[in-house]
Amino acid sequence: MSGAWRHPWEGEGWRWAAPRLPDPNSSRACGLGPSLSHQGRGDVEAIRQMPSHSGLITVMDRAARRAAPKLRRDFNEVQHLQVSRKGPADFVSAADQATEQTLYEELKKARPDWGFLGEEGGTRAGDPAKPRWIVDPIDGTSNFLHGIPHFAISIAVEEPRPDGRGEVTQGLVYQPLTDESFWAEKGRGAWLQDKRLRVSARRELTEALVATGIPFAGHGDFAEWTRIFAAIGPEVAGIRRFGSAALDLAWVAAGRFDAYWESDLKPWDVAAGLLLVKEAGGFVTDYRGSDRPMDRNEFLAANDGLHSKLHKLVAQALRKERPKAE
């Protein structure tokens, strides 16, 4: 469409100049890209560091970057489809599936006997003694569908454990439109490209910017969310609902958001993001404070100080909601 606004990457040769992950086999530290440096922020260490990571992170990062160009082209196409009567829903669903297929093929090439749990393709069994991939090809599909540039690819590695509970040991959230790769490995910290991430250091609720996910048609408990919102809203600096749980959690890890709450999510929405928050020094519990938030499918994430304050508010709100339940 002539006159339609075009994204800067919808042209020839434009590319966000973000640094790549260093090759784990290389001894050269990679530089900080100018557009992604966060000097002056307390949340990201401004010093150069050479992150040590396993080859798995390289595999995940490469898979996401291989899927990204088509996703960017499809996103641009969605702009044009907005005005058609049928709308872009079928197109976006096809983009979701194609992205997942690319990720599946790339990851399978690297680890042929691993299982795969993806939002679009369901479960593909692998060797039960080996880890499996947990993949969300587009987290923030509603944004993508509406032409809102806020969505991400999420990839996690879940290792089998004797008690039957898998444990996520690697996670990567890649935002194709900004070329930001948030990644974490158990015991090795959380990173944005080659910069170590820390959750925010803010301690006061009045300074806290809090992200959430709001229940939507047919999903979630709106009454419960409203109670929590009513309890937290008046106490904090602001509440944001951006529509991608994976990015919400990655941004808590990066200290952009101070806290986050949401319920009724799927494993692929949160697998990578939860590890990012934990490895960035944050706390994630359910609304009752248990450190197994997946069990109740409730997620409250923040630094330790804010977490305990928010947890008190949430617990109070839920007690009011269900006076006889517990």
Which residues bind to ligand 2AM, rule: CB under 6 A?
A: 119, 136, 139-142, 213, 216, 243-245, 262, 269
Q: How far is the CB of 265 from ligand 2AM (least distance, A)?
A: 6
Residue 277: which of ligand 2AM, Ca ion, none does it interact with, CB under 5 to 8 A by kind? none
Q: In what order do the strands lie in the sheet with 238-240?
A: 238-240, 209-212, 259-263, 298-302, 283-285
Binds 61, which of Ca ion, ligand 2AM, none (CB < 5 to 8 A, cut-off by type)?
Answer: none
Supply φ then ψ for residue 196, to 5 degrees: -65, 140
From ligand 2AM, Ca ion, none, interface partner of 244 (C-beta below 5 to 8 A by class): ligand 2AM
Q: What is the number of helices (H) and of strands (E) in the chain?
A: 8, 13
Residue choice 96, 100, 106, 139 for contact with Ca ion (CB under 5 A): 139
Tell me how crowded residue 43 is: count the other CB atoms within 10 A of its CB: 21
For ligand 2AM, the closer CB: 173 or 184: 173
Binding flags for Ca ion, 245-284, as an x/- string (CB under 5 A): ------------------------x---------------
140 binds, options ligand 2AM, Ca ion, none, Cβ within 5 to 8 A by partner type: ligand 2AM
Please state, in angstroms and as integers, the Cα–Cα distance from residue 136 to each residue in 64, 205, 272, following that order.
11, 32, 10
Provide the minimum distance between the beta carbon of 65 and ligand 2AM in the complex, in angstroms, as a whole number.
Answer: 19
* Position closest to ligand 2AM via CB: 213
Q: In this complex, which beta carbon is closest to ligand 2AM, that of residue 99 or of residue 244?
A: 244
User: 115 contacts which partner out of ligand 2AM, Ca ion, none, CB within 5 to 8 A by kind?
Assistant: none
Q: Please report whether residue 286 would count as binding Ca ion according to CB under 5 A.
A: no
The dihedrals phi and psi of 182, each to the nearest 5 degrees, come to -95, 130
Number of other CB atoms surrounding residue 234 within 10 Å: 9
Q: Answer yes or no whether residue 43 interacts with Ca ion by CB under 5 A.
A: no
Other C-beta atoms lying within 10 Å of the C-beta of residue 91: 17
On whether the CB atoms of residues 268 and 289 are closer than 8 A, the answer is no
The binder of 216, among Ca ion, ligand 2AM, none, by C-beta within 5 to 8 A per type, is ligand 2AM
Assess 136 for contact with Ca ion (CB under 5 A).
yes
Tell the smallest beta-carbon distance from residue 139 to Ca ion (Å): 4
**Judged by CB, which is closer to ligand 2AM: 62, or 150?**
150
Closest CA to 184 of 282, 300, 274: 274
Q: Candidates 78-86, 133-141, 178-186, 211-219: pick the segment binding Ca ion (CB under 5 A).
A: 133-141
- 3-state SS track over 130-184: CCEEEEEEEECHHHHHCCCCCCEEEEEEEECCCCCCCEEEEEEEEECCCCEEEEE
Long-range CB contacts (within 8 A, 24+) of 223-227: 223/321, 224/263, 224/318, 224/321, 225/263, 227/317, 227/318, 227/320, 227/321
Instruction: Choose between 197 and 246: whose C-beta lies nearer to ligand 2AM.
Output: 246
- Closest residue to Ca ion, based on beta-carbon distance: 139
CB atoms inside a 10 Å sphere around CB 101: 15
What's the closest the beta carbon of residue 270 comes to Ca ion, in angstroms? 9
Least gap, CB of 93 to ligand 2AM (angstroms): 11
Interaction site with Ca ion (CB under 5 A): 136, 139, 269
